[in-house]
Amino acid sequence: SVQRAETLAVDPTDPVARQVTNGAHGGLLVLERSLNDRGVMRTVITVDETRETISFFGTTAAVDGWRVCIVDTVDELNPNAANALLKILEEPPQRSLFLLVSHSPARALPTILSRCRKLPLRPLATDDVIRAAALAANMTADDPALTEAAEAAEGSVSRAVTLLGGDALKLQQRTAALLATLPNVDPRELHALGDALGGSDRVALAAFVDGVDRWIGEKLRAGDANANLPRLARLAEVWEKIIRAARDTESYNLERKPLVFSVFGMLAEATR
């Protein structure tokens, strides 16, 4: 039984394990990105998918009366879906368990975070990311593009799959190159980056914000960070402002180029 388990290994022939694998367990609901009508993976978890929780928790309870809902990932909920989930979390059903996966918690709604207990997990090894992403993307594990995306994904399978789509990886690399020049900024390069973010491509915006998020995180975790506490405080404050600005840009479909200039302007000031 689970109570006597000594490892996390699961027997794939176990009846419950087979139900979970096949998505047929009555007490488990998994919210994740799905294919659209054209067979293309959506970039977000939609509000209609999130509303499945209403019927799920409204049915007769499963094993021992418990129901489990996994959101993988909460970062990929569109604004309406995030608000729909929040309503459930504000008045959670009895004997319910929500597991919200997040690669960038700062990008989730604060009102959702405030209702959760945080459990930090170590990133996966690159080889593990490659194997999982290859399975998810129906690719061979020795594909060079998959290896490059996995190495840039910092242990996240979802991020690796996202970076495989379009020019997301190149855009993130371009962002990293500009961040490396701070506090100096080249307006022409910022204009070009803003143009690359043009339109309403959520993946491109996510790649940009993710690159900035990772860069700031590295600065905050650097071994010599405590040697300059005022600068550390400025970076932390700017980080929060950037997350809010990026969320507003996505929610209200605002122009991307002003966001690029705003982000680099704040970071240049904070790193001087």
The dihedral built from the CA positions of residue 35, 43, 213 and 30, taken in this order, carries a sign that is negative
* 8 A C-beta contact, residue 167 and residue 196: yes
Domain count, the chain: 3
Mean pLDDT of the chain: 86
Candidate ranges 95-109, 135-149, 150-164; pick with highest mean pLDDT: 135-149
Confidence band, pLDDT 50/70/90 cuts, at residue 61? low
Same domain, 20 and 76: yes
Confidence band, pLDDT 50/70/90 cuts, at residue 263? very high
Same domain, 57 and 143: no
Same domain, 27 and 79: yes
Same domain, 98 and 8: yes
The CATH number that applies at residue 70 is: 3.40.50.300
* 8 A C-beta contact, residue 72 and residue 34: no
| Domain boundaries, position 202 | 170-270
Same domain, 22 and 37: yes
Return the bridge partners of 68, or none.
Answer: 28, 97
Q: What is the pTM of this model?
A: 0.66
Same domain, 154 and 174: no
d(CA 207, CA 234): 23
Same domain, 103 and 140: no
Same domain, 232 and 209: yes
Sheet of 96-101, strand order: 28-32, 67-72, 96-101
Same domain, 160 and 174: no
Q: Is pLDDT above 90 for 141? A: yes
d(CA 47, CA 77): 8
Same domain, 60 and 150: no
Same domain, 32 and 105: yes
Identify the residue with better confidence: 253 or 182. Answer: 182
d(CA 118, CA 114): 10
Same domain, 244 and 149: no
User: Average pLDDT for residues 32-56, to the nearest whole number?
Assistant: 83
pLDDT at 161: 86
Residue 33 is which amino acid? R
